[in-house]
Amino acid sequence: MRRDNPNDKTRILSHLGSRAGSVARRASVRSFMFVFCFFLLAVTGCRKESGGADNPAARRPSSDWPIFRGDAGLTGLTRDPLPEKLVLDFTLAAGDDIAASPVVAGGNLFAATTGGSIIAFDLERRARLWEYANPDGFEAAPLALPGEALVVAGGLDGWVYALDAGSGTLKWKAETEGKIAGSANYLRAGGRALVLVGSWDRSLYAFDAATGAAAWKFATANYVNGAAAVGGGLAAVGGCDARLHFIDCAGGREEGSVDTGAYIAGSAALAGGVAYVGNYGGRFLAVDASSRRIRWSFDLPAEGRGFEASPAVAGKHVVIGAKDGFVYCLDRAHGALAWKFRGRDQYLASCLTDGTRVLAASADGELALLDLASGRLLSSYDLGADVTGSPAYASGHLVVAALDGGVYVFRGE
């Protein structure tokens, strides 16, 4: 297993610092977070390198994409067929950078800006419905909580905001003790809906969706960056402690954890009782959720070019974009490389799949529609704007948000 390279921190800063315009503004938040992960791992003596499809919990109406990655298992799988060609239909203006993924529910799109707003748009009328302001900003994707008419998002100020989905009125807010960089997730336990949120105070929280009251809190050893994937009564979450934790959703008790060898910047996907996750050291793992045993692992060939995105899971394949500029498709059973596709830039956003095609968005705004079986390029589109948030696909709309404040909506099938 590879170990820390003291030049990693310098490489990350120099790479992000070289990006212009809106990327520079994003780097002021995101690069600060990840550099601090490196720093904290070093001063605490940790020597590691940084570190669904068939899931009942993932079921949802096919017309909605209510959460980052589409479902509670965070599989990145849509049940609706992706278009055969990328054709831009229209663009919505948020007015500020969008670093997070948009979500869609009930025909409405919800986006969170780094400048400090959660915005709702009516996709059919192409009109802004409401805007909720938080001057500290958002880097986490919102959650349109199914069945609850709530939009929930964690802010960079450490607060969790729950808004009425129809009006944007604040219903409740709950405080954590650190920045929130990852999307909220949800589950139902004991007759109530719970919202799961990870924080930079090193904890995963469960809040009552109706009141915002804390149901439980699980403490990790370092910052929690991504969202928790939910399935089979468990939540799988990673962070800067380099471990993938499996938490009992009902009571917040840890069932076990796995050392991935490097800190985890993204989110895991849970499908078929297996958690799939990539770390910042360039290792991708499949972990059995029940036994917490590593089934297989796959290592990137390039030193220091890891994973920040989350995987998409469909059928026999798992697909993920990496910071080395490739999209990797792996055999889900054994981890063998099926194909890889070279994009124009690194991949910070996560891929989306319908089980036949894959949509990948590189950091410089190149959208690539690929054949899942072969990796062949089917269609491409240049947004002309940088992208870090993952695409969404719902209600016949393929949606990509960008750091120029644009929400780009493509024609569906």
Residue 154: count of CB within 10 angstroms of its CB: 32
Q: Which of 390, 410, 338 is nearest to 141 (CA)?
A: 390
Domain count for the chain, please give it: 1
State percent of the chain over pLDDT 70. Answer: 84
Per-residue pLDDT at 24: 40
Find how far residue 40's CA is from the centre of its chain.
23
Q: How far apart are CA 41 and CA 374, in angstroms?
A: 39
Mean pLDDT of 41-59: 37
Helix, strand or coil for residue 126?
Answer: coil
**Where does the pLDDT of residue 189 fall: very low under 50, low under 70, confident under 90, or very high at 90 and above?**
confident
pLDDT attached to residue 46: 36
Greatest C-alpha distance within the chain? 55
The answer as to whether 403 is a domain residue is yes
Question: Looking at residue 210, which CATH number applies to its domain?
Answer: 2.130.10.10
Of 3-17, 352-366, 383-397, the range with the lowest mean pLDDT is 3-17
In this structure, the number of other CB atoms found within 10 A of the CB of residue 413 comes to 11
Rounded to an integer, the average pLDDT of 222-244 is 95
Q: Cα–Cα distance between 285 and 264 in angstroms, integer?
A: 11
Tens-digit pLDDT profile for residues 336-374? 999 999 999 999 999 999 999 999 999 999 999 999 999
Asked if the structure places residue 160 within a domain, the reply is yes
> Would you say residue 263 has pLDDT above 50?
yes
- The HSE-up count of residue 175 (CA atoms within 13 Å, CB side) is 1
The segment with the largest mean pLDDT, out of 1-10, 20-29, 374-383, is 374-383
In this predicted model, which residue has the larger pLDDT, 50 or 222? 222
Give the per-residue pLDDT at 305. 84
pLDDT at 57: 35
For residue 145, tell me if it sits in a domain: yes
Tell me the average pLDDT of the chain. 86
The helix (H) or strand (E) run that includes residue 95 is none
Nearest Cα to 239, choosing from 284, 295, 181?
A: 181
Structural domain boundaries enclosing 388: 8-411
Which positions ≥6 away from 237 have C-beta within 8 Å? 198, 204, 220, 224, 226, 227, 228, 229, 244, 245, 247, 267, 268
In a domain, 1, yes or no: no
Q: Which of 397, 335, 404, 402 is nearest to 88 (CA)?
A: 397
Distance set, CA 92 to CA 10, 200, 362, 386, 407 (Å): 36, 31, 20, 16, 5
Average pLDDT over residues 234-263: 96
Examine the pLDDT at 307 and tell me if it is beyond 70: yes
The two structure tokens encoding residue 242: 């380099």
**pLDDT of 18 strictly over 60:** no
Examine the pLDDT at 405 and tell me if it is beyond 80: yes
- pLDDT tens figures, 127-147: 999 999 998 999 999 999 988
Does 3 map to a domain? no
Contact 165, 149 (CB under 8 A): yes
Question: What is the edge-to-edge ordering of all strands in the sheet holding 269-271?
Answer: 269-271, 274-278, 283-288, 294-299
Q: Is the pLDDT of residue 68 over 90?
A: yes
**Mean pLDDT, range 299-308, rounded to an integer:** 85
Does 121 reside within a domain?
yes
Can you give the pTM of this predicted structure? Answer: 0.86
pLDDT band for position 198 (50/70/90)? very high
The three-class DSSP label of residue 266 is: coil
- Is residue 75, in this structure, part of any structural domain at all? yes
Nearest Cα to 152, choosing from 168, 128, 136? 168
Kindly write down the DSSP assignment for every residue of 373-410, as one continuous string: TT--EEEEEE-SS---SPPEEETTEEEEE-TTSEEEEE
Helices (H) and strands (E) in the chain, counts: 2, 32
Least confident piece of the model among 26-30, 253-257, 400-404: 26-30
Q: Tokens representing 219? A: 């403490």
Residue 48 banded pLDDT, cuts 50, 70, 90: very low
